[in-house]
Amino acid sequence: MASLYFKYAAMNSGKSTQLIQTHFNYIERGLNPYAMTSILHDRDGTGVICARVGLNLKVDAFELSCNLYKLVQKKHDIKALNVVIIDEGQFLTKSQCYQLAQVVDELKIPVIVYGLKTDFRGELFEGSYHLFCLADKIEELKTICWCGNKAHMNARITQDEKVVRDGDQLEIGGNDRYIALCRKHYTKGQIKR
């Protein structure tokens, strides 16, 4: 039976590495995975999933207005899909989350979504919120704070290493703009010893 999976974590937890490995595993077994990401995620180029360990994967990029059910159905009609894999699930709209659930329920294709739980203010993204509501299976991927405790907060930082508390929710960046912290050090604004 197909399921909707949401695998979430803080920044630098290995989400992209795991996604690329999952995609490879399907191909290695002669199956047909379909991977995509939001067009909003363009840090490494549009339609590129890049892991910190050096792996990358070229995928389709979708717009916020894209009907993901219709897109997947079209691909599935051309060649049967065995899984749909989505990166940057936090950028999904409410409608797109429901469309992915429809892929599972009507097309019987498993959907695995990777993404952040919360933004730099500690608030849920729209996509993450609706994935928590709709997912059949939810898994937290772990990463650690500089202190060694579990990191589950994403702090936005300035060039002079100060934690930012206000601003637009969406600002694409990597290690130069964000750091994963435990709640204690996120609250204190302490990004290193």
Catalytic, out of 88, 106, 123, 161:
88
Look-up: residue for tokens 């049967």? 80
Number of Cα atoms under 13 Å in the Cβ half of residue 57: 24
Encoding tokens for residue 91?
A: 């950028």
Q: Which of 188, 90, 88 is nearest to 145 (CA)?
A: 188
Catalytic status, residue 123:
no
Gyration radius (Cα) of the chain, Å: 17
20 alpha-carbon distance from chain centroid: 12
Catalytic sites, residue numbers: 88
